[in-house]
Amino acid sequence: MSAPHAVSADKPTFYLTEEHHPENSTMLGFWIYLMSDCLMFAVLFATYAVLGRNYAAGPSPADLFDLNLVAINTAMLLFSSITYGFAMLRMEKGDKAGTLKWLAITGVFGLAFLGIELYEFRHLIHEGATPQRSAFLSAFFTLVGTHGLHVTFGCIWLVTLMVQVSKHGLIEANRRRLMCLSMFWHFLDVVWIGVFSLVYLIGVIG
Amino acid sequence: MSSEPHAPAHESAHNTHHGHSHGHEAAHGTFNSYMTGFILSVILTAIPFWLVMGNVIESKALAVAIVMGLGAVQIVVHMIYFLHMNTKSEGGWTMLALIFTIIIVAIALAGSLWVMHHLNTNMMPMNPEMMKNLP
């Protein structure tokens, strides 16, 4: 693509037309990726909805779930969403230190969420409520575990971007990456709304 | 990312024209919009947890409906205040992709539940003896 530089004397027209469409399509592409992710979660939700009442004489949600723990977990994810929002606001201002600070706080909330979830899983498995116990538990661990895996990758991505920002500053590429992670992070929070409503709350209602 | 090497040159040209490189991006949130979304989310999360943990409602069906309804409202709140969804971003293509996905998700969820429900209820009852003689 050296054409624009080669004929610099008279500006090629296609360069001008590009100026009228400066919106790059990364955000749209990433949004479509998220939508494909959404379909995958929809299938896992459907699986849970179909299998979630087949306890095989094993424990039911009301026996297993500790809603206090789930409420704390939900709060962690919600706090991480708002702190990520603050990081984006700092980024808009061009405040590198502020962005890094809020990203770090977001990461702490994300790790707290993962820690509580792993504690819950360990507790369930300790009680014999393993994925092999019943169809309900298989569907539960698949759905909630996949969400947890997404949060794990989000945390890895977050740390990667913190390194990138601290090394190169808030350059355009880093801003774009931070915006993609922003969508990813908020999207995971949206999926979690489905998880705590359908799996935990309605499960405990019975 | 094939466009990576050109990015700085393009951006500098871009900046001279628009001053701010995000001039054409969809509106980002402001502090107030993030706080509005956050407070609404807290309320919409607290109500269903309170309903279930405090056993406020007798009727199970009603409680399930309320939890589902509040969850749906909270998803919309997150979409608007955190994901900045609107009909204008990216020329409306994000909204189009979202609507398409919602339709597919609705078909997948409703279809699975409908099919599996009828499969369960219309299945011939089977005793262990019949189970043994299955082909």
Nearest by CB to residue B71, choosing from A25, A197, A205, is A197
Q: How far is CA B135 from CA B35, B128, B130, B132, in A?
A: 62, 14, 10, 9
Chain A residues inside the 8 Å CB shell of B71: 193-194, 196-198
Chain A closest-CA separation from residue B133 CA (Å) = 22
Do the Cβ atoms of B33 and B79 come closer than 8 Å?
no
Closest CA to A181 of A125, A99, A123: A99
CB-count exposure of residue A125 (10 Å: 0-12, 13-18, 19+): middle
Q: How far is CA B133 from CA B58, B119, B126, B127, B129, in A?
A: 45, 21, 11, 10, 7
Residues, chain B: 135
Amino acid found at B51: L
- Cβ of A19 under 8 Å from any chain B Cβ? yes
Chain B closest-CA separation from residue A165 CA (Å) = 16
**Residue A66: strand, helix, or coil:** coil
pTM (2 decimals)?
A: 0.82
Residue-averaged pLDDT of chain A: 90
The pLDDT of residue B88: 84
Do the Cβ atoms of A88 and A174 come closer than 8 Å?
no
User: What pLDDT digit, counting tens, does each position of A79-94 carry?
Assistant: 999 999 999 999 999 9
Tokens of A111: 């790790």
Contact state of A197 with B30 under an 8 Å Cβ cutoff: no
Instruction: Please say if the pLDDT value at position B20 is more than 90.
Output: no
Q: Show which of residues 1-60 on chain B sit within 8 Å of chain A, judged by CB atoms.
A: 3-4, 6-8, 11, 13-14, 17-18, 21-26, 28-31, 34-35, 37-38, 41-42, 45, 48-49, 52-53, 60
Chain A residues inside the 8 Å CB shell of B13: 19
The pLDDT of residue B17: 39
Rounding to the nearest 10 degrees, give the CA dihedral for residues A75, A80, A82, A88.
180
Alpha helices in B82-127 (DSSP H): 93-122
Q: Show which of residues 72-91 on chain B sit within 8 Å of chain A, judged by CB atoms.
A: 74-75, 78-79, 82-83, 89-91
Do the Cβ atoms of A44 and A174 come closer than 8 Å?
no
Contact state of B68 with A193 under an 8 Å Cβ cutoff: no
- Cβ of B100 under 8 Å from any chain A Cβ? yes
The pLDDT of residue A133: 93
Amino acid found at A142: T
Chain B closest-CA separation from residue A10 CA (Å) = 16
User: What pLDDT digit, counting tens, does each position of A50-66 carry?
Assistant: 999 889 899 999 999 99
Chain A closest-CA separation from residue B105 CA (Å) = 6
Average the pLDDT over B35-57 and give the result: 94
Average the pLDDT over A100-120 and give the result: 97
Of A129-133, A144-148, B89-93, which range is least confident? Answer: B89-93
Most confident stretch, A16-25, A160-169, B122-131: A160-169
Chain A closest-CA separation from residue B135 CA (Å) = 24
Instruction: Please say if the pLDDT value at position B13 is more than 90.
Output: no
**Maximum CA extent, chain B:** 81
Do the Cβ atoms of A183 and A34 come closer than 8 Å?
yes
ipTM for the assembly: 0.84
Chain B residues inside the 8 Å CB shell of A99: none
Q: Which residues contact A25 (CB under 8 A, 6 or more apart)?
A: B90
The number of angstroms, rounded, from the C-alpha of A113 to the middle of its chain's C-alpha atoms is: 12
- Cβ of A72 under 8 Å from any chain B Cβ? no
